[in-house]
Amino acid sequence: MPLGLYRIKVPTIALFEEDGHRIARTVPPGACIAVNPAAFDRTNLVNVTWDGKTVMMFRQDLLSKSELVPDGQ
């Protein structure tokens, strides 16, 4: 998955760090996330940036539930 901006196509779970705990929240369709390919290795959870925050998303969800935004549109 190349570095870039991706649009979420369907509601997708992300894990937020709050008070030392990971809290699951839904990222809505249409939300844009920035993916860092250095963090996108063979692990199941990937750090991405959404709404100015670093959150964790499942690798498989990113592959199946998002699409690359051409030229950051």
pTM for this entry? 0.81
Of 2.60.40, 2.30.30, 2.170.220, 3.40.50, the CATH number of 4-72 is 2.30.30
Q: How many Cβ atoms are within 10 Å of 38's Cβ, its own excluded? A: 8
Tokens found for residue 42: 């063979």
3-12, 37-46, 62-71: range with lowest mean pLDDT:
37-46
Instruction: Detail the DSSP E strand segments found in the chain.
Output: 4-8, 12-18, 21-27, 32-35, 45-50, 53-58, 66-68
Domains of the chain, by residue range, sit at 4-72
* Mean pLDDT, residues 17-21 taken together: 91
Rounded Cα distance between 53 and 43, Å, is: 20
pLDDT at 18 exceeding the cut of 70: yes
